[in-house]
Structure 1
């Protein structure tokens, strides 16, 4: 069946086949016809590597930081001390090491954001591909109307409304306890579903409109194999781009909820409640309490955004070259 699929693609897309001349050009280091050799774009590539560095430091602090820093909840007599060799990020009003608390908060932010993005993808991807494959059908219209209704609700306002109603403590859905961390993950993941599904639908619909899809049906390829073998691989690159951009948005949303006191609660440190808790000390010159955790959060947002933008540019260049 794979040979049949390849023959169908070669008939429908003859330009996809690589001839001897193209192979010889590749061997000699020349760019084949129809392809472009990518050159160094100074400002753009420098910005991309800056984003990789920011996101890498954010993830490194989240993964390694809590392992090498002291107990984030351990107090000391040294209260509201500025950054020093003993406390690189200074201390808070209880003498707790702010680097340790920032590392713990970064881990919470990364785990919450990653969980929300994965949850949104797992639900949105099959919905979007199904709607795109059945574009114009009643099921497609029904799925899109429901998603549009969800998308009309602002994510941040929806999260504030639900957490305001249910409280920041642990609730229960039947016998299952739902912590505030789980609430934030569920709310952000729910808000990402229409965002991801619309992108997946557009990509799947564009791919389903190609000539080789009906040709595969003619030779007897099942719908499930077309969806999983053809549509899904072509949808995934765009979804990876959207996942990086959504990570930046999730870090911002989780931090914003923590800043307002509607996210993960103290004594568990998060980047949001650290930034919010330190604003009251800014008039007294205690800038490190809120500025340094806020800078770490900004690095994560900026890093994932720049990586997403760079991936989008690269995918666009490849599409143009093809």
Structure 2
């Protein structure tokens, strides 16, 4: 009889039980909600998402006059009214939808494009393509975001951008401008992370076996550099919210009648000296809550995805990832000189 290896028995998986993206997302959510910072981040993100998605269906027209101008918060109008009698709560909810959607979509586009270009540049390190990509990112990153985004927005608005017969409005142009400004960050991050991977043995073996470049990028590189990309994406959404609000506050971003948190601050600027504190308080709280939630989420994701920091997410009685104690090399009583 041929001897067989003594393998550790593994529990059999139930029929049809397949690890899916939803199961992985559920595991991440459970891990994030084990610490106060993760609970705070998840709660704020869920609350703001609900306000942006469901709020416009429950509030009146944000551009319609609802009551007397400059009314303080009351049971009829929870956030008061502005100088034209429009309900501030309705405009806050509409602004949440625009600000959050612009920040999220432009970050997703910048993440996808920047990561792909960075990985290809790493695979072609030392070539003309790599040099061209790096010099282009240097030029874009030489300008501050609050200078580059208004310039791009003005250029795109003046020339106009059309997708087929549909011409993009200023909200879409603002998202494109922020996305272009954020893309070089992901290009450099993906390239630096991929350069550390292309020199490893598994990449050399894959190339030796004749793997196609598409398989190298999506099958080998992307899963191994995803951790810093995901963390940077969470921080970039917060940065995009701040940039959109700042540019719109200066009057160079989203224009009326579209409402965003930045345009609400613009409307409140001229009324603050008249005692209308509610016009600036609620948009500021919305921006602060969104940025706080995304910053906490980025910190928690960094700790969760980093194996050196993952110990804090495990349950108190779970010692599966505990380090193996070193062997006790002290002499036993039988071997000590005193016992002889």
TM-score (structure 1 length as normaliser): 0.80
Deviation at residue 177 of structure 1 after TM alignment: 3.1
1:190-218 alpha-carbon deviations (Å, 9 max, x no partner): 11111011111122112212111112233
Deviation at residue 283 of structure 1 after TM alignment: 2.2
Q: Is 1:143 the equivalent of 2:133? A: yes
Aligned residue runs from structure 1 range 1-322, under 5 A: 20=7, 45-164=35-154, 171-173=159-161, 177-317=167-307
User: Per the alignment, do residues 165 and 121 of structure 1 end up closer, same or farther by CA in structure 2, a change over 3 Å counting?
Assistant: closer
Deviation at residue 120 of structure 1 after TM alignment: 1.2
User: Structure 1: any 5+ residue segments left out of the alignment?
Assistant: 1-18, 25-40
* Bigger share in helix: 1
User: Structure 2: any 5+ residue segments left out of the alignment?
Assistant: 1-5, 12-30, 312-320, 322-340
Whole-angstrom distance in 1 between the partners of 2:139 and 2:7: 53
1:267-292 alpha-carbon deviations (Å, 9 max, x no partner): 22110010121122222221111110
1:157-179 alpha-carbon deviations (Å, 9 max, x no partner): 01223445666xx7535887342
TM-score (structure 2 length as normaliser): 0.76
Provide the alpha-carbon RMSD of the alignment: 2.9
* Count of residues in Structure 1 that have an aligned counterpart in Structure 2: 287
User: Per the alignment, do residues 204 and 251 of structure 1 end up closer, same or farther by CA in structure 2, a change over 3 Å counting?
Assistant: same
1:52-82 alpha-carbon deviations (Å, 9 max, x no partner): 2222222211111111111111203422222
Whole-angstrom distance in 2 between the partners of 1:64 and 1:152: 40
User: Per the alignment, do residues 132 and 165 of structure 1 end up closer, same or farther by CA in structure 2, a change over 3 Å counting?
Assistant: closer
